[in-house]
């Protein structure tokens, strides 16, 4: 049975003080009985402290990126084994901003997904189309291609430990949100693609998140959709009250 997941991607925001205040406020408001899986992804310098603050709470800590190798001459990179060593449990892979600004490719995304799984990390695999691709009528083939390339070589058992995040690039940080129907359409396409690559049971067990201007006022409609199992939240996850509203309003299936 797939999980409902609300994940906060803090991007390049929050100093140590901000991080401590936000995670502490979240921890004080969340009880062990919360049914939604909560994930927070601070910037690299504060991951270890965030893990300590989240210990004993329902909050899981994610990294925003990682290399696929355990060590080597890769200045500025962080290895998966290092994330595991400090207690990180999830990692965001292939976010559209990484693809655009840091030359992420389908191949590096594939390598990272496989490496994350090999190290016991839960990869949150991002996919999505630009407005130009949507308007050109290639949204489905583009997203299906991203999924197929990223999952190449994974077994059905490994697939059960992957989380997919659909992020329409045209709705990230723009204040523009895909309608629940638009988001559901693509998440259903993704699930059908997973079923084609594996089987229906595997596809039905995978959590698929929507990531595009998710807020407290729209999360219920989004997560009530059959194939949307939560959200990858950007700006609205930076303030504890806003993030808590999203968590509280999410529909748990």
Instruction: Supply angle C-alpha 234, 190, 13, rounded to 5.
Output: 15
Among residues 252, 251, 182, 248, the alpha carbon closest in space to that of 213 is found at: 182
76 labeled binding residue: no
Is residue 167 annotated as a catalytic residue, yes or no? yes
173 labeled binding residue: yes
Is residue 157 annotated as a catalytic residue, yes or no? no
Q: Is 9 helix (H, G, I), strand (E, B) or coil?
A: strand
Q: Please state at what angle helix 16-29 crosses helix 47-54, rounded to 10 degrees.
A: 20
Catalytic residue among 95, 104, 119, 184: 95
Supply 104's token pair: 């992420």
234 labeled binding residue: yes
Catalytic residue among 104, 129, 144, 167: 167
The β-bridge partners of 55 are none
Instruction: Supply angle C-alpha 204, 118, 1, rounded to 5.
Output: 20
Please list the active-site residues: 95, 167
Binding-site positions for substrate: 9-11, 173, 213, 234-235
Binding-site positions: 9-11, 173, 213, 234-235
């Amino acid at each position: 049975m797939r999980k409902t997941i609300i994940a906060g991607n803090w991007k390049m925001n929050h100093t140590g003080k901000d991080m401590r205040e936000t995670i502490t406020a979240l921890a004080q408001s969340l009880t062990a009985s919360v049914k939604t899986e909560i994930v927070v992804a601070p910037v690299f310098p504060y991951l270890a402290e965030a893990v300590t603050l989240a210990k004993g709470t329902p909050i899981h800590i994610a990294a925003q990126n990682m290399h696929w190798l355990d060590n080597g001459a890769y200045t500025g990179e962080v290895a998966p084994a290092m994330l595991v060593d400090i207690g990180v449990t999830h990692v965001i892979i292939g976010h559209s901003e990484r693809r655009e600004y840091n030359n992420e490719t389908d191949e590096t995304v594939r390598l990272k997904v496989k490496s994350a799984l090999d190290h016991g990390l839960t990869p949150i695999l991002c996919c999505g189309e630009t407005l130009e691709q949507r308007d050109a009528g290639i949204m489905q083939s583009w997203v299906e291609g991203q999924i197929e390339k990223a999952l190449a070589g994974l077994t059905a058992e490994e697939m059960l430990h992957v989380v997919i995040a659909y992020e329409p690039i045209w709705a990230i940080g723009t204040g523009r949100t895909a309608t629940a129907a638009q988001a559901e359409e693509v998440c259903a396409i993704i699930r059908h693609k997973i079923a084609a690559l594996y089987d229906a049971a595997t596809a039905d067990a995978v959590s698929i998140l929507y990531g595009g201007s998710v807020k407290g006022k729209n999360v219920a409609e989004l997560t009530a959709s059959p194939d949307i199992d939560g959200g990858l939240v950007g700006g609205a996850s930076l303030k504890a009250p806003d993030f808590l509203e999203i968590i509280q309003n999410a529909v748990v299936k």
